[in-house]
């Protein structure tokens, strides 16, 4: 299938990044969100990120203007129905995702491919609730989308070969690299990354090290660009906890039990950078450890 138009559900951190890379690659993009305010904010962020690329001479002024011109916004989910490809990038809750696909269904073209940017939820299960499980895939981008090179492609049990090949070609067109994953909890990246972050929280919880010593140890001792607790704050502690719960429930192994301290931070509403407090306090000029 020749994919030219892309509909994106959700204008948050992931959605606006996905819109950015698709528009820059020449696709016509329709960005949807339930709130007009979120759409305006997304367009501002996209323009700012394009300006950053322009200042670093990664793109030209003409490419920036053309990309912005290719993005339209709407609060009506039905407006995405005419798209060749739809990418759902809403909140990481299965009930929300199922409701979105159900509302989209009456408006879709028969050949439209449906995808989810979920970081951990079963693709087979999401696909089974739609009228086209063979044209449904996991399309998991890494954050921040314009910078990160990888896209995880996850086939559900019913996904057909033409759908997989079409998305493989799309990943190449947008200048990313695909990693094909089987449909098991958290796929590849988060299956490995989240238990590491969870173990770092346990290390803090058990008093083996404080926030700064844990992060410095992994940056200087393992050459990680960002410490695990700093990275957890960047991802969002609620997202980390949700993925650990998916791993724990889906694989029924105690090694995936979320650390009680991670749960406590989420209960406090200390979710990381997006709430100005997590394992670090971001309300001042420089981040200060909270433990």
3-state SS assignment for residue 12: coil
Q: Residue 222: phi, psi to the nearest 5? A: -125, 5
20, 116, 140, 230: which is the annotated catalytic residue? 140
3-state SS assignment for residue 125: helix
Q: Residue 181: phi, psi to the nearest 5? A: -125, 150
93 Cβ neighbours under 8 A, 6+ residues apart: 242
102 given a catalytic annotation: no
Residues 155 and 54: their CA atoms lie apart, in Å, by 36
1 Cβ neighbours under 8 A, 6+ residues apart: 84, 111, 113, 162, 166
Residues 99 and 106: their CA atoms lie apart, in Å, by 13
152 given a catalytic annotation: yes
20 given a catalytic annotation: no
32, 49, 117, 190: which is the annotated catalytic residue? 190
247 Cβ neighbours under 8 A, 6+ residues apart: 120, 185, 186, 190, 191, 194, 195, 256
Q: CB count, 10 Å around CB of 183?
A: 19
Residue 285's Cβ-count burial label (10 Å; 0-12, 13-18, 19+) is: exposed
DSSP annotation of 107 reads G
119, 120, 122, 198: which is the annotated catalytic residue? 119
190 given a catalytic annotation: yes
3-state SS assignment for residue 277: strand
Q: Which residues are part of the catalytic machinery?
A: 119, 140, 152, 190
């Amino acid at each position: 299938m020749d994919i030219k138009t892309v509909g994106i559900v959700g204008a948050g951190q992931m959605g606006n990044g996905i819109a950015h890379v698709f528009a820059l690659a020449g696709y016509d993009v329709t960005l949807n969100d339930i709130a007009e305010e979120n759409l305006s904010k997304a367009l501002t962020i996209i323009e700012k990120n394009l300006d950053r690329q322009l200042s670093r001479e990664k793109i030209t002024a003409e490419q920036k203007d053309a990309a912005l011109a290719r993005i339209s916004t709407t609060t009506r989910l039905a407006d995405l129905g005419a798209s060749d490809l739809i990418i759902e990038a809403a909140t990481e809750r299965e009930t929300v995702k199922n409701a979105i696909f159900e509302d989209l269904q009456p408006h879709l073209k028969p050949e439209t491919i449906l995808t989810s940017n979920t970081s951990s939820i079963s693709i087979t299960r999401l696909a089974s609730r739609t009228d086209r499980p063979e044209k449904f895939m996991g399309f998991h981008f890494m954050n921040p989308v314009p910078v990160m090179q990888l896209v995880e492609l996850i086939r559900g049990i019913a996904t057909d070969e033409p759908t997989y090949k079409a998305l493989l070609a799309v990943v190449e067109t947008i200048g990313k690299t695909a990693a094909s994953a089987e449909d098991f909890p958290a796929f590849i990246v988060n299956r490995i990354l989240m238990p590491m972050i969870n173990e770092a929280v346990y290390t803090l919880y058990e008093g083996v090290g404080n926030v700064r010593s844990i992060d410095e140890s992994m940056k200087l001792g393992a050459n990680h660009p960002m410490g695990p607790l700093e990275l957890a704050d960047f991802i969002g502690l609620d997202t980390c906890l949700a993925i650990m719960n998916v791993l724990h429930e889906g694989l029924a192994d105690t090694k995936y039990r979320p650390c009680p301290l991670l749960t406590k931070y989420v209960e406090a509403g200390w979710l990381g950078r997006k709430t100005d407090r997590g394992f670090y306090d971001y309300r001042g000029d420089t981040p200060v450890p909270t433990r």
